[in-house]
Structure 1
């Protein structure tokens, strides 16, 4: 049996690095099944838009062959616009029974008849894009791709309340790349400097705590703490920390990771009021990757568009972590461009030199376009942009959701996650958390609360004094084969463990609950023995 002291060397690891150690322990006992609820990679995915992707690839390959059809060596060329819609319709008719073809037919109809876009222009961009035969042009995002993804994004994040023309998108390699690019460009453009304060909504995805502290930025972190007593909302006393003018940027994950709860209407309104009345200069960066799992979700971007940079990743909702698909959205008029215009003349001259290779009028270059250039260290801006096949898959994901008028896919995923959560807590023997606005993508297992519900407050107090909750997850992994991540690694201020509800099946979550209950029962038996031994004769 490994002792707690053996785990001391792992205390400072990120939860995602710690996970590998926990997996090694959980896998180390013979034929026992290891149950990894550590990482949030979903075990579900959207099949229809993927089927459409592969069928579109076959059509595109045939289109390519038209340019060099006289050659027998497998040489193709770029697709041709003339007649492409007729050829597509012929392809659909000839393959109507193949998976994904009906989806493509409906998708083209939606783009043409509901969005008012050119069917030929869209098809040409999609076929050339899936072939990957040209650089991404424009590098920020392909023309039709931006229009489609923007409509999806504003419907999901803003409830369709914002006009499409108000928002610019930058397609890139997922949400974490977006955060990295944003902070790098904020620094390069003098919008954050060493010693500035960065507020972070906590609990939070661990790397977001680590980024501002890096040597590149040297920012002072200000924790904006959500509390379990308020259903994991941010109390006004915490949000009022944003009134400090030294706080230059507020980074928040909404819904949170963990505990997977969206900011409620009161919290959104309070942040919007602070920005409107006291902090019109505040930069907000919101990562809303889990927003599509929440009922009636509204992003901070819809409340404070002028001040907010929206980050969205397709990874979780569509089960596409391996695709690395994400976007950054900024409003056409925004605080970042205003801050650039207000920089001291000396700083502007430095930036004039930095971006001189892009345009003779650097000072009119928007922040989002500087992001694109900075992603390729400016000099390689002409090779910037997300690969075109990735953008095509992003478009097909977006159209799949836009055309789902009954929200059938979304409802199925929500029910799937909720059933898994109920199974875990049922076999643990306690009630599942009932936080309003929860996505149920993760759950925070509050150790003291669970102990109290099982065996009372005295046992819970004993357990918290006798058990090192920072290393108990190692024992759980070693003895039960269950991998959970420590809540403290996500800036949770209570002894807790994060379980992903996305990457195992329902019966496996029931097994996790049962394994944790067995361990709790063992501790309770030890507690009773100690009490009996300590009792006077």
Structure 2
């Protein structure tokens, strides 16, 4: 059993490292309960349509390769001329639902995006086969067009930026975060001692990376409060007016608060950028599709904002590692690089002139691509081509719906909402029914719950007599339930994050009941000590 000394050591770990320790305890819980892990945000659903389409493209790609060389398992290469007609002949849309989807995609790509079908099919087929290096190395040509229209459809809320945005697909959102920090540092856009603003609570790497010796940044907390349903208020946003602030990092909708910025907050951020025009904004919008009429900061402040998106949550693709960085063709990052001193430009020239002839013409997003492969491997940089095509196929499942309701997105929102309702009903805990609540996560404060059920004296007893992580530990080692410690996200002691993504719906009532059962155990101890 974990004792108080152990708990103090555990509290020094990161939130995800604590969660791994809780998993070990929960699997061997003393009550012999079923092990339930609602800590991680890995969804327990997948999108089948895109995956089946990927499989059909792969099957066609093998047939195409056999046309040029066929010697047992050794087959050849694909040919551009007429490949789309051969693909159409291969498909059987009248008898195969996946083939019908692919035909719909071809129609959309030709008539709505005005793409050359031979070039698209060749890119898709070579992409799924993975027989060539990514070329261009930043992003495949037609894939960039598709991804741009998808991002515009699901994140920009009517703002037209698809043709003004450059993309860099990455190995998930995590790689996007790492590449962003790395290139900001390498290009003198952030330096040790610089002040950056972070909207907390937030995904833990945004708190952990800046303070590492590699960066040594000074964090300014722009916190969202539970009493405000995790919305960031206007007064807090005004901190962005400070010209000493170099960058602003946020997750929108937030993690773990699960709350999207409202119109007032977006307007305040726009005002702050007008007052602080060199502010760099990095927004991570992976949960945006779970909010009705979501709007990203990028669509409000496109010149100042770098957008990170991941396909992992909506499409159940965490194992694929599918992310993308989006940056406007005209942006503050390029402006700030252009304004560096001659000495700094000379230093950067030495870094990048191995891969380009005119370093000063190299955009920040292309520098990110080069930095992602330590410059020397720039010629073979880029996300794997099968991964890029999977991003395109996921995007197309939404795009071909056009102006109709996307039943897949609606089903995903309905699923997390039902789990949210079950958890909160079991706990009798206050719900946030606002349209800006993604409901992908719930934040349950155990001290608030204690006060609501047993009074303020019991709440104070818990806070004074136990480590803040004690309830989390006992929930795992006694009851077999794994949640995540909110403190690691920059939340308050007692805040626990519950993921509504990764367990069967029926389990969320059980989680709530187990939390109440454990809380009652604490209360009985409290009564004995009175």
Superposition TM-score, scaled by structure 2 size: 0.96
Aligned to 1:46: 47
Aligned counterparts of 2:238 and 2:263: Cα–Cα separation in 1: 16
Q: Is the 8 A contact 2:292 2:435 kept in 1?
A: no
| Residue in structure 1 matching 2:363, options 350, 353, 366 | 366
Matched, 1:329 2:330: no
**Matches of residues 343-354 of structure 1 in structure 2 within 5 Å?**
343-354=340-351
The answer for unaligned runs of 5 or more in structure 1 is 532-537
**Which ranges of structure 2 fall in alignment gaps of 5 or more residues?**
none
Q: Which residue does the alignment assign to 2:445?
A: 446
User: 8 Å contact 1:226–1:235 — kept in the other structure?
Assistant: yes
Aligned match of 1:15? 15
Q: Deviations over 1:427-482 (max 9, x none)?
A: 22334344551111010001122223323334333333333322321111111100
For 1:401, which of 376, 398, 401 is the aligned residue?
Answer: 398
Match in the other structure for 1:295 = 292
How far, CA to CA, are the matches of 2:390 and 2:508 in structure 1? 31
Decide whether the 8 Å contact of 2:7 with 2:469 is kept in 1.
Answer: no
Partner of residue 376 from structure 1, selected from 373, 386, 408: 373
| Secondary structure of residue in 2 paired with 1:198 | strand
Shift of 1:198: 1.4
Please list the CA deviations of residues 400-448 of structure 1 after superposition, one character each: whole Å capped at 9, or x if unmatched: 0112331211111111101111111222233434455111101000112
**Deviation for aligned residue 1:58:** 0.3
Distance in 1 separating the partners of 2:126 and 2:455: 64
How far apart are residue 92 of structure 1 and its match?
0.8
What's the RMSD between the two structures over aligned residues?
1.5
Distance in 2, Cα, partners of 1:465 & 1:11:
16
Secondary structure of 1:221's aligned partner? strand
Distance in 2, Cα, partners of 1:430 & 1:444: 10
Number of residues of Structure 1 aligned to a counterpart in Structure 2: 527
Q: Look up the SS of the partner of 2:295 in the other structure.
A: coil
Q: Is the 8 A contact 1:261 1:436 kept in 2?
A: no
**Does 1:25 find its partner at 2:22?**
no
1:55 maps to: 56
Instruction: Give 1:129's match in structure 2, choosing from 114, 127, 130.
Output: 127
Aligned counterpart, 1:225: 223
Q: Partner residue of 2:247?
A: 249
Q: CA deviation at 1:185?
A: 0.7
Quick check: 1:500 aligned with 2:499?
Answer: yes
2:207 to 206, 209, 213: 209
Return the alpha-carbon distance in structure 2 between the equivalents of residues 100 and 289 of structure 1: 27
The answer as to whether partners of 1:315 and 1:321 remain within 8 angstroms in 2 is yes
Could you tell me how far 1:394 is from its partner in structure 2?
0.5
Contact 1:231/1:435, CA 8 A, preserved across alignment: no
Compute the TM-score of the two structures, normalised by the length of structure 1.
Answer: 0.95
Partner of 1:535: none
Q: Give me the whole-angstrom Cα distance separating, in 2, the residues matched to 1:9 and 1:145.
A: 47
State the Cα distance separating 1:76 from its structure 2 match. 2.1
